[in-house]
Amino acid sequence: MKRQQTTKPRITMVGGALDRGGDKLNAHAAIHHGDILAIATEGVVTVPPTTSIMSTVKTMLNHGFRRIPIADAGTQQLRGSIVCRDIVDFLCGGPRHSLVTNRFNGNILAAVNEEVRKIMETDVAYLYTDASIEDVLKLMKEKNVGYLPILDKDESVSGIVTEQDFMHLVAGIEVGASIADYMSTNVTTVGPDATIGTTGKLMIDNGFRRIPVVKNDILLGIVTAFDILRFLGSGEALTKGATGIDDALSVPVKTLVGREVVWTTSDRDVGDAAEMMAENGVGSLPIIDDGVLTGMLTERDFVRVLATSRQ
């Protein structure tokens, strides 16, 4: 485990008691038993497989999406999926990066105009509109995915359910379990001068979606796969990559760290953590105990919280 220690973490603590109104997690979640559309998002934005990679990135950025179903324009039948980490894979040296290096000789300007079907995931887990919360929790855990498209009887994309939906379901509820019970403790970090390319490759190789940025044992921020998506979509990667992909990826990761980090301690209830994350619009919480970065809690962990509570 890589732990970063500091007596003065330069970050923002969100505290204070929560008014839970006596709610308990199971009572709250039972309202939606057997009806996933009660928490799923309907009216889903999709893009067709022939959309360019860059247009797909722009659509994701315009809507603030970290994932988007790929569906036929007419029928809306599911054909694939793109998540932020697929774009990081494409840009930073994962298997999808071969499109840049082999077909376009490292020319990122040309590669981003290729159709998104060339890099989309085609083996997509999904459920139907009659699915229950238990069905979703089971499949998300089994496939280790953060979202599932929901299809109607015509196999068209009707909605999506995400791990964020479960985070909101838990938010403010006294679960009776501490953050320590669910957080990841194997925290890998990078320094602020690490390149975007190195950081992105670390994400791909280890299955990360976010990595803390640390200098002199002080947590400076969190860089996420969405930050790298934004870097590509802003055009900065294309400008710097005019002479080759390596130039684009040599930018220090510190340029992507802009916002203060919300953090908490491992003894807090996971319902508190969910509310903090929801209120601050973040997908993870660094956990700092006695000045030491001891873990990370992410939206994915709330799938485990609910799955455990409903066993």
Chain segment 117-165, per-residue pLDDT in tens = 999 999 999 999 999 989 999 999 999 999 999 999 999 999 999 999 9
CA atoms within 13 A on the CB side of 145: 23
Give the pLDDT of residue 26. 55
- Pick from 211, 182, 212, 209: nearest CA to 274: 182
Q: What's phi and psi for 45, nearest 5 deg?
A: -80, 130
Residues of CATH 3.10.580.10 domain(s) within the chain?
A: 4-27+172-225+240-309, 34-162
Q: Tell me the CATH class for 34-162.
A: alpha beta
Query: 203-259 pLDDT, tens per residue?
Result: 999 999 999 999 988 899 999 999 999 998 887 777 765 556 777 789 999 999 977
Per-residue confidence at 297, pLDDT binned at 50, 70, 90? very high
CATH topology of domain 4-27+172-225+240-309: CBS-domain (3.10.580)
Long-range contacts of 204-212 (CB under 8 A, 24+ apart): 204/85, 204/88, 204/89, 204/92, 204/93, 204/94, 209/84, 209/85, 209/283, 209/298, 210/283, 210/284, 210/296, 210/298, 212/4, 212/187, 212/286, 212/293, 212/296
CA torsion through residues 61, 67, 68, 70, sign: positive
φ/ψ (deg, to 5) at 59: -60, -45
